[in-house]
Structure 1
């Protein structure tokens, strides 16, 4: 049975999709995590609370390089000291220095979006087709050239093996015997497992503060694998495979 999804084809000259635990050297995920794409969508749609949706993210990049960035550091309770700090923020001391950042070069992405509320398809489509400002994905300066389409998608059983060249985030719960990954000598699957952010809820702490509690998705980042004959997979109308978490929230 066919249904509709929004498909984004995105090109970026450079991009950094920062891995949260990287600081001195800001490493990048190989593809934008779900939270980064959801943030862009919500900003352009002017959504002020989370609108549940499913995402499939695939793509590639030509190479990586590194660049400098201005790095700011501070510690809770660290009072400003004229000899130690560059900036005074209401009595808090902030140091400024230089750090390195990893950049992906010549990035091409395909993103499929299907909101839980199908009435929002047109709203999201128009917000991305006619954005209120030029989109960015990753850092503010990572400009994204986006081509937007409404496409048909459907699940079908394969009549022959289908090789896949693009890199994908494949939710871990979807990996089964219908995939043929290039297997390493130790028997593991060739690829990298990540636990990436999708969306968050605001929770109160014991100190009456509010913090973000992230919903994280376990995925395998993989490329150059095969979808096997008789397996069932979701494709769009141009035969692009789609892998998204079963739960959208």
Structure 2
């Protein structure tokens, strides 16, 4: 199958965990939904286009920063003792909160559209983006260091293959269950430790209202992955790799 491989870098970025509020925590790598959203934005897609992605990379450190937060209730009237901003008679509270930021992020991402004829569209959108791309928040701008069309193959390895030792990756859980991947510690093969995430990939719209008064919410499709590093794939194991021998974990 054909894929688009991109290498990107970012300065300070937050890939927000949706369950974090008081402190906006970040995933260590962007979830599939964030990457797929960026591709749809750059391609100007108006409806969902099925695709799978492989996400791996690294960051130098993590810091906490402050940001401005605005809180209000729809239709809530201004009350002097309660609100510190009056917007045309409606009340709003302005305050500060804390956000986690990853520093000096580097990512290697493979994008595989289900309709292979879309390869050229995605390649052109990344090679010559119509706007400055971002990944995470709107202000989390992306520097695209490489865009390349690659071939991905299923291969039975003749010798062990190790992921870039500085990179971590999202690994679909079934690779772990079948002992396809492990961890390399000083040349010794060990069971892969890591953090389990249930991360978002795509969604469908679900009507929780009525036919006359519809109210749509996003129903997210979640995928089970393990976030791990120092990843080793053993001899005789079947794995997806690209033409430059990069391991590919599609989700």
Superposition TM-score, scaled by structure 2 size: 0.89
CA deviations 1:41-63 (Å, max 9, x no partner) are 10110001110001000000011
Cα distance change on mapping 1:87 and 1:49 into 2, 3 Å: farther
Whether 2:170 is the aligned partner of 1:169: answer: yes
Give the alignment of 1:6-85 within 5 angstroms. Answer: 6-75=4-73, 78-85=76-83
**Secondary structure of the corresponding residue to residue 105 of structure 2:** strand
Whether 2:206 is the aligned partner of 1:200: answer: no
CA deviations 1:175-230 (Å, max 9, x no partner) are 222222379xxx98411001111111111113631111111111100101211110
Whether 2:101 is the aligned partner of 1:100: answer: no
Q: Is the 8 A contact 2:192 2:231 kept in 1?
A: no
Q: Give the counterpart of 1:226 among 206, 210, 232.
A: 232
**Secondary structure of the corresponding residue to residue 181 of structure 1:** strand
Farther off after superposition, 231-240 or 84-93:
84-93
Instruction: Give the length in aligned residue pairs.
Output: 240
**Secondary structure of the corresponding residue to residue 120 of structure 1:** helix
Q: Give the counterpart of 1:179 among 175, 178, 181.
A: 181
CA deviations 1:123-159 (Å, max 9, x no partner) are 1110111001111111111110112111121111111
Q: Is the 8 A contact 2:183 2:191 kept in 1?
A: no
**Secondary structure of the corresponding residue to residue 36 of structure 1:** helix
What is the Cα-based RMSD across aligned positions, in Å?
A: 2.0
* 4+ long deviations beyond 6 Å: none
Query: Structure 2: how far apart are the matches of 1:136 and 1:169?
Result: 20
CA deviations 1:42-92 (Å, max 9, x no partner) are 011000111000100000001111111111223466443233224456765
Query: Structure 1: how far apart are the matches of 2:127 and 2:84?
Result: 43
**Secondary structure of the corresponding residue to residue 6 of structure 1:** strand
Cα distance change on mapping 1:230 and 1:132 into 2, 3 Å: same
Q: Is the 8 A contact 1:40 1:136 kept in 2?
A: yes
Q: Is the 8 A contact 1:5 1:114 kept in 2?
A: yes
Corresponding residue number in structure 2 for 1:211: 217
Superposition TM-score, scaled by structure 1 size: 0.90
Query: Structure 2: how far apart are the matches of 1:72 and 1:5?
Result: 41
Cα distance change on mapping 1:231 and 1:74 into 2, 3 Å: same
CA deviations 1:95-120 (Å, max 9, x no partner) are 21101111111100000001111111
Query: Structure 2: how far apart are the matches of 1:38 and 1:88?
Result: 39
